[in-house]
């Protein structure tokens, strides 16, 4: 590729949550009925050019995982169940995010659209990791950063995150380390 498209294009609704560490967006290539392979390729190229080290898919299916592999962009798949208890899945996801961010990885989290599930997961992670002190504050910060209101299903994920053993207890270290999500606005 040459010209202005050589660096690709950012995924729709791309937003930094933790500057240079954790971002969210719509699924590269668009959501299911509007998915375009060429757009997906351009967005994967952009993610690579921006130094992303891994894509975290919350989709219930394995869509896009092969495309990431084909382009040499590592990915991890954490499908969140639509019903039932998601706390075990959330804890595994949060531990994985925490460890990767501590190693300096640059992560993009997505689902088909940037909606309640992604917003709830990210707000829940900020609460669980100790970066924000309360669920209401985590919801407010994520709504402000992304410009999207969080509905009941996202808020439920934040409430579940508040019921999990915190990062300090899981990792055995006091407090949380890492950048403040509010710094993502700078």
Q: Is residue 21 part of a domain?
A: yes
Q: What is the CATH number of the domain that holds 142?
A: 3.90.190.10
Q: Which domain holds residue 165?
A: 7-170
Per-position pLDDT tens, the chain of length 186: 455 556 899 999 999 999 999 999 999 988 766 678 888 999 999 999 999 999 999 999 898 999 999 999 999 999 988 888 899 999 999 999 999 999 999 999 999 999 999 999 999 999 999 999 999 999 999 999 999 999 999 999 999 999 999 998 875 443 344 444 544 443
Instruction: Tell me what pLDDT residue 101 has.
Output: 98
Q: Is residue 182 part of a domain?
A: no
Instruction: Tell me what pLDDT residue 182 has.
Output: 43
Structural contact between residues 8 and 20, judged by C-beta atoms closer than 8 angstroms:
no
The total of structural domains in the chain comes to 1
Instruction: Tell me what pLDDT residue 170 has.
Output: 76
Q: Is residue 89 part of a domain?
A: yes
Instruction: Tell me what pLDDT residue 37 has.
Output: 86
């Amino acid at each position: 590729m040459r010209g202005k498209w050589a660096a690709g294009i950012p995924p729709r609704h791309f937003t930094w949550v933790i500057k240079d560490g954790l971002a969210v967006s719509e699924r590269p290539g668009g959501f299911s009925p509007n998915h375009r392979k060429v757009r997906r390729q351009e967005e994967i190229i952009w993610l690579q050019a921006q130094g992303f080290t891994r894509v975290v898919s919350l989709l219930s299916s394995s869509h896009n995982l092969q495309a990431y592999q084909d382009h040499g962009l590592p990915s991890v798949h954490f499908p969140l169940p639509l019903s039932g208890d998601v706390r075990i899945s959330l804890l595994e996801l949060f531990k994985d995010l925490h460890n990767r961010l501590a190693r300096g990885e640059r992560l993009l989290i997505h689902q088909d659209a940037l909606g309640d599930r992604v917003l709830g997961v990210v707000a829940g992670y900020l609460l669980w990791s100790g970066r924000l002190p309360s669920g209401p504050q985590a919801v407010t910060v994520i709504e402000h950063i992304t410009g999207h209101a969080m509905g009941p299903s996202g808020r439920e994920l934040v409430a579940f995150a508040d019921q999990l053993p915190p990062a300090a207890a899981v990792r055995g270290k006091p407090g949380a380390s890492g950048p403040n999500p509010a710094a993502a606005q700078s």
